[in-house]
Chains A and B, each alone.
Chain A
Amino acid sequence: MSLGKTGIALKLPLAIIALGALAYILGFLPNRWQQICILWAIWSTVGMSWLIMLRAGIFSAGQAVFLCIGGYTAAVLTLKFGCSFWLALLVAAALCSIVALIVGVIILRLKGLYFLVISFVFAEIVRLTIAASDYLGSSEGLFGLPVPNSILGINFSTKQGWLYLFILILSIASFTYARMERSRIGRIYSYIGTSPDLAQSFGIYFMKYRVQAYVISAFFTGLTGAAMGGYLGAVSPDGYTFYYSLTSQIVAILGGIGSIVVGPLVGSILYNIFDEYLVYFAGARSLIMGLLLIVVIFFFPEGLVGLRKRFRRTKETKHVVTT
């Protein structure tokens, strides 16, 4: 896993303007494509959050747990306490960070496979416990979440408003991750990810950075989860299965894990277009996603982004050969 050299952080003002324009243009798309764009923004954010943990050597199989906690927190706050959606959004993200901090201090002591399996089990147990709780709507979940108040004249009873919100979350997340990737923290992450023992011998207390990566990842995943609950108008335990954890990996791997921001952004486009057309064939969707994952791992281990690089490399070598 090498450091990404995407340069997004340097071109930030340009990127913000471009994203704003993009969101504005996307707002005129037909409903179905707006839906795809919303899901694209959601899964890009979650995929990036998964990837930043992988960069720090944390292979998680339970990203869905923070979507779940975030979604349920926002749902309970708005539905049961009549709290404003915007406050609930922030509280949900904060709560996810706190949960990640507490749980992370315990489970991040485990390395490699142990962490992988425990993160998976943690996500399943949280889901099953929520499904058992009557206060949280047992296995049917909570539904009929109120539509958030309009803010800055943006109306949230249409898809357009939500599109702006998710693009905003995506921009904040990708800005943060791009900055992290290019700064000292990002280098430390990739250092402790590739050789934790060596990093420790150089005086890097890697537990601190592992927990940090976990908490930041949980914050953005929780934020997305809370907003997603509001967008769908309902949360249910069946909505946060292992399939969601897998999706966060799929978008990152399809796009390529070489760069934290670009990979998930690209992978998420492909994933969501696939998903939109396969959504009515539940079995076929799983089957095709599974086969796609295997094909990508074997033939394009660097993902779609790596494909472009590979193409360029072969061109260069050809050039060398002819001259």
Chain B
Amino acid sequence: MLDIFIFWITLSLNYVLLATGLTLTISVMRVVNMAHGNFYMAGAYAFLVFSEKAHMPYGIALLLAILFVGAIGMVVEAKLYRRLGGRIEPSIICMCGVLLALEGLATILFGPDIRGLPPMVAGTAMIGKTVVSMGRLAVAVTALCVITALFIFLKYTRMGKSIRATAQDREAASLMGINVKLVSSLSMGIGTAMAVIAGVQITAVYSLSPFVGITALCTSILIITLGGMGSIIGAFIAAFIIGLSDSFGASFIGRYHHLLSFGTVMLILLFRPLGLMGTRVEAEGKEK
């Protein structure tokens, strides 16, 4: 029981990372980044290359993977997305193109086989009578640290405030002298970096193949729809709810647990069509 509980916490914290990354890009770019799941996959592969091929220590490999894939994300934002002028349909299709291209590239470079990632810390610990893998605990702690850092960044720094202002009203923000282009690139970079961290950590628990991106995208979309698009607090709460179905649900119900999370989301959407924390203003801004 305790091990499932720890699995739930670990998984949910990483889901928070994944979903916060997506919700950050949505709130600033106003378009769902369909390639988010594949940045997650690309991050895990980049990490694999840095740690196994180049024999770098875990931390440095992770950092390099974040910088590398984050840079790809920023280039995609600056060179592709921005030139479409925020129109929803072309942007989504363009992002689907990026998704396919990343998946294809990963298949060419690494083959379609399933792989495992090394854990952050080897060994196990005893909590009461339960054996807990240290790797999972370390993952949970890392995720918590990153989330806290992100919260502090968004809440107190000048750049974080700019990001929040741009998310609220792009035009007003640019009138107030905020460099909206820089903010867009940066939030895409941060969103991608979040996906990379989540990718390296979650695929170490499950497995890695070029096709895991779609599953990750599905999970993060479920979370942000449940929590309300553009709301970070909502993503936090929703990640724990969806994590519940993927950990406890998977253990007690078995393979049908996807239906449980989908059912939950549909039920909530019936009563709150904008999700738990979504507000009318944000949603209206995005429909244009």
Contact = CB atoms under 8 A, between A and B. Distances in A.
Contact of A117 (B89, B96, B105, B225): B225
Contacts of B215: 124
Interface string B71-84: 00000000010011
B88 A112 contact: yes
Contacts of A284: 104, 108
A44 B106 CA distance: 29
Which 7 pairs show the lowest CB-CB distances between chains A and B?
A287-B104, A283-B107, A290-B100, A286-B104, A290-B101, A132-B255, A293-B97
A285 B102 CA distance: 11
A120 interface: yes
A246 B217 CA distance: 14
Chain A facing B: main interface SS: helix
B259 interface: yes
Contact of B104 (A121, A242, A288): A288
Contacts of A288: 104
B258 A120 contact: no
A296 B94 CA distance: 9
Contact of B262 (A116, A121, A286, A289): A121
Contact of B32 (A106, A109, A116): A116
A61 B34 CA distance: 10
Say which size band chain B's interface belongs to: 35 or more
Nearest to B80: A294
7 contacts: A113-B32, A113-B229, A113-B287, A118-B269, A124-B258, A289-B97, A293-B97
Given A125-B258, A246-B100, A290-B100, A282 B92 contact: no
A242 B214 contact: yes
Contacts of B273: 109-110, 114
A118 to B, nearest CB: 6
Say which size band chain A's interface belongs to: 35 or more
A297 B94 contact: yes
Contact of A114 (B93, B102, B229): B229
Contact of A290 (B90, B97, B221): B97
A249 interface: yes
Contact of B225 (A61, A114, A286): A114
B107 A124 contact: no
B286 interface: yes
A129 interface: yes
A118 B101 contact: no
A299 B236 CA distance: 40
A291 B93 CA distance: 11
A243 B97 CA distance: 11
A121 B102 contact: no
Given A109-B273, A117-B32, A290-B102, A125 B94 contact: no
